Structure 1
Amino acid sequence: MELKIAYRMLLFPIQMFYHIVRASLLSLLPSSKKDLSKEVVLITGGGRGIGSHLAKEFAKQGAKKVILWGRTEKCLKKTAEEISLSGSDCCYFVCDVANRDEVYKQAKVVREKVGDVTILVNNAAVVHGKGLMDSDDDALLKTQHINTLGQFWTTKAFLPRMLELQHGHVVCINSILSQSPIPGAIDYCTSKASSLAFMESLTLGLLDCPGVSCTTVLPFHTNTEMFRGMRVRFPQLFPPLKPEVVAQKTVDAVRTNKAFLYLPWTMRVLVILKSFMPQVALEEIHRFSGSYTCMNTFKGRT
């Protein structure tokens, strides 16, 4: 037994080196993309912002059906009509992911009316843009219920069938703020950090489940209504992402089974720096980038 343990300990660094080199080489080669023509995609928060662009991008790249979930029927209907006019099959259901009973009820309706969901995109999110002491308690709870717990309910509703079929994909539109929080959005940063832990745990938990994968997207500030008014000190160096670019990169990541996607890729450097730099150095980076004041002009979605 001791020899076996010693053998594994010696083999472990070799395996790590192999996987690092292999991953590096594969990143330089064009990846084969899976076909979406048989996929039924459900997107939460699909009526506007990144969710709307995701729906259009999945349809554009050949998804069999696109299902939109959200709280505002007017937005859902508009996006569904635009996708349907392009010749793709799209429908919508009004559903608040913060409401567990409503999620389970609507999931059953989707299975009966549309069929099995094979790609679940957890995109729905809210942000209030206030500090802790200025935030209403109900608003704080709302952020956690939508941004974090909503993923629990949707995943529990659709993942079991994916496991039965041995075919499926769970996607989370997260944020780089889950790993590099800023002042003025304490509820959002906390919810996204919880969401990231959820996806990391889920991704590892599905390692031995053939045919079912996960993708977590961690974008920088994206130019949508939700973060309207947010300002970056050096917009030339750190321009906000376009939602259509986030959508296109996300769908490509799903098609290549990429587990984690940082947008832009330079955000990985920020995470690496944070892992070893002293707190005072990190504070200077925040002062330099202006993250301490970027939410001062925040207006959010009207």
Structure 2
Amino acid sequence: MELRSACRVLLFPLQMLYHIVSATVSALLPSRRKDLTKEVVLITGGGRGIGRHLAKEFAKQGAKKIILWGRTEKCLKETAEEITLSGTECHYFLCDVANREEVYKQAKVVREKVGDVSVLVNNAAVVHGKSLMDSDDDALLKSQHINTMGQFWTTKAFLPRMLELQHGHVVCINSILSQSPIPGAIDYCTSKASSLAFMESLTLGLLDCPGVGCTTVLPFHTNTEMFQGMRVRFPQLFPPLRPEVVAERTVDAVRADKAFLYLPWTMHALIFLKSFMPQVALEEIHKFSGSYTCMNTFKGRT
């Protein structure tokens, strides 16, 4: 037994090297993409912003059915009509993911009226853009309930059937702010960090579950209504992402079974630097990039 353990310890570095080389080669070479023609996709916060573009992109890539969840019927209806006109079956349901009982109730309605969900996209989120002391207590709770706990309820509602069928995918639209927070959005950064931990744990927990995968998307500032008014100091160096690009890359990551997607790819460098640089150096980076003041002109919606 001791000899076997010693061999495993000696082989471990070689295994790590193999996986690193394999992942690098896979990233450089075109890989086979999953077919989406049999997938039933549910998108929370699907009425506008990134959610709306995700619905359009999944439909474009051939998804069988699209289901939209959200709190604003007007936006949901408009998006559903647009998707239907493109030739893809689309349904919408009013659902606040922060409300656990409402999530479970609507999940049952979806199964009865549309069928089993095979791709769950947790996209719904809110941001208030205020400092801790300026934030209303109820607003802080709302951010945590929607951005973090909502994922618990939706995943618990749909994952069991995916595991039973050995077919499914859970997607989270997170944010690079989960790993590199900024002042002035403490509620959002905290909730996204919790959301990232949830997805990392879920991804590892599903390693032994055939046919069921996860994708976590961590985009830089995206030019949507939710972050309207947010400014960066050097927009030429760090231009905001277009929501349609985030949607396109997300769907491609799902088709490629990619676990984590950073947008743009330069965000990898940010995380690498943060792993070893002293706090004072990180503070200088924030000052240089203007993250201390980027929320001063924030006008986004909640």
| Shared fold per TM-score greater than 0.5 | yes
Aligned to 2:167: 167
Are 1:261 and 2:234 matched, yes or no?
A: no
Corresponding residue for 2:34?
34
* 2:289 corresponds to: 289
- Cross-structure match for 2:74: 74
The separation in 2 between residues aligned to 1:2 and 1:75, in whole angstroms, is 63
Amino acid at match of 1:128: H
Give 2:111's aligned residue. Answer: 111
| Equivalent residue pairs, number | 302
Pairwise CA distance, 1:226 = 0.2
Please give the alpha-carbon distance, in whole angstroms, between the structure 2 residues aligned to 1:31 and 1:127.
36
Instruction: Please state whether the residue corresponding to 2:209 is helix, strand or coil.
Output: coil
Offset from partner CA, 1:143-162 (integer Å, 9 cap, x none): 00000000000000000000
Secondary structure, aligned partner of 1:107: helix
Residue 134 of structure 2 aligns with an amino acid whose one-letter code is: D
Corresponding residue SS for 1:163: helix
Q: Is the CA contact 2:128–2:301 (under 8 Å) kept in the aligned structure 1? A: no
Q: Which residue of 2 aligns with 1:224?
A: 224
CA contact (8 A) 2:229 2:297 kept: yes
Question: What is the aligned-residue identity percentage?
Answer: 87
Q: Counterpart amino acid of 1:172?
A: C
* CA apart distance, 1:31: 1.2
Question: Which residue does the alignment assign to 1:198?
Answer: 198
Q: Please give the alpha-carbon distance, in whole angstroms, between the structure 2 residues aligned to 1:45 and 1:53.
A: 11
User: TM (normalized to structure 1)?
Assistant: 0.99
Paired amino acid for 2:292: Y
| Kept after mapping to 1: 8 A contact 2:179/2:271 | yes
Q: TM-score, normalised by structure 2?
A: 0.99
Q: What per-residue deviation string (whole Å, max 9, x for no partner) do you get for residues 106-142 of structure 1?
A: 0000000000000000000000000000000000000
Amino acid at match of 2:279: Q
Alpha-carbon distance in structure 2 between the residues aligned to 1:163 and 1:226? 34
1:54-93 equivalences in 2 (<5 Å): 54-93=54-93
Report the Cα distance in structure 2 between the residues aligned to 1:233 and 1:19, rounded to whole angstroms. Answer: 38
Distance in 1, matches of 2:96 and 2:277, equals 40
Amino acid in the other structure paired with 1:63: A
Give distance in 2, aligned partners of 1:35 and 1:2: 46
SS of 2:275's equivalent? Answer: helix
Partner of 1:7: 7
CA displacement at 1:301 relative to structure 2: 2.0
Alpha-carbon RMSD: 0.6
SS class of match (2:115): coil
Matched residue, 2:21: 21
Mapped partners of 1:263, 1:23: distance in 2: 18
Asked if the contact 2:42–2:66 (Cα under 8 Å) also holds between the matched residues in 1, the reply is: yes
Unaligned stretches of 5+ residues in structure 2: none
Structure 1 residues without counterparts, runs of 5 or longer: none
1:96 — aligned with what? 96
